[in-house]
Amino acid sequence: MSASSVTTTIDTIVGLQTAYDELKAAEELLGGIPDWMKELHTEYSERKEAIETIEAAIEQAAADRRAAEAEAADTREKLEHYQEQIGRVRNQREYSALLQEIDVVKQGIQGFEEQGLEALERHETESAHLEEERQAFAELESRYNEELGKWEAQKPDVAEKAEELRRRIEALKEQLPPPDLRQFEASFARFDGAALARIQLVQRPGKGPRIWHCSRCNYRVLPQAIVEVRNHGSVVLCDSCKRILFYSENED
């Protein structure tokens, strides 16, 4: 739009759509992480998650060890109980049966002791691993916090820009004739925040009549519609997709 041109309805609508697009970008930025931090953020999150996984493995190893030790203790009690019975057996058959029980219980104790030892070793290995990971993470974390500080310092500017865009949107809405505003709002809602479609010149080899299409759905735009939009700045919908058509000199 040149400085000398009169602001038409469609110009105002294009300005409104642009302001909404910029507001959406600003709001997304405020609710997330800026592009320049994304790579670092991903690395940070992955390393942090890796550390949490190791911490969980350490806890699991400790729990496994406690469980194995408790089982071993119970089984040792059982063994003592059987050993006390040895003096009370009445015949060879009872004696053999008791020895067999004692054998099973001893094997059980050995099994639980092995489990406890395995859990202890796992605990030590994972703890050493955690220490390594934490040392490597410390450098990354301080770099991340530094960048986060920079982003926090920039946020007020982005928030202010968003506020300015909200004011601009209200001002532009007031400039529109009510039926055109209603049409814009209906298209904006229907097409998920993208109310407009550009009138696009179809590139064709050779000479012939110029043909125009809707940039969104490729449906033909008739010359009369182009005159309405370009010369009168009126609100005209695409015959097919029903988005509001706009014309821009520079993009063909």
Name which position in 165, 172, 216, 244 contacts Zn ion (CB under 5 A).
Answer: 216
What's the min distance (Å) between Cβ of 224 and Zn ion? 16
238 binds Zn ion (CB under 5 A): yes
- Beta-carbon contacts of 58 under 8 Å, excluding residues fewer than 6 positions away, are 123, 126, 127, 130
> What's the chain's Rg over C-alpha atoms?
38
Q: Which is nearer to Zn ion, 95 or 219 (CB)?
A: 219
The amino acid sitting at 216 is R
| Shortest distance (Å) from residue 190 CB to Zn ion | 12
Centre a 10 Å sphere on the Cβ of residue 199 and count the other Cβ atoms it contains. Answer: 21
Question: Binding of Zn ion at residue 54 (CB under 5 A)?
Answer: no
Contact pick of 23, 105, 196, 214 for Zn ion (by CB under 5 A): 214
Check residue 104 for interaction with Zn ion (CB under 5 A): no
The binding track of 179-198 with respect to Zn ion, each residue x by CB under 5 A or -, is ------------------x-
Q: Is 241 in the site for Zn ion (CB under 5 A)?
A: yes
Give how many residues touch Zn ion by CB under 5 A.
8
Q: Which stretch binds Zn ion (CB under 5 A): 44-52, 66-74, 99-107, 236-244?
A: 236-244
Within the chain, what is the greatest distance between any pair of CA atoms? 119
Report if residue 119 touches Zn ion, rule: CB under 5 A.
no
Q: Is 130 in the site for Zn ion (CB under 5 A)?
A: no
Binding mask 140-179 for Zn ion (x = CB under 5 A): ----------------------------------------
Q: What's the CA dihedral at 38, 44, 47, 52 to 10 degrees? A: -120
We find the least distance from the C-beta atom of residue 187 to Zn ion, in angstroms, to be 11
Give the footprint of Zn ion on this chain (CB under 5 A): 197, 214, 216-217, 219, 238, 240-241
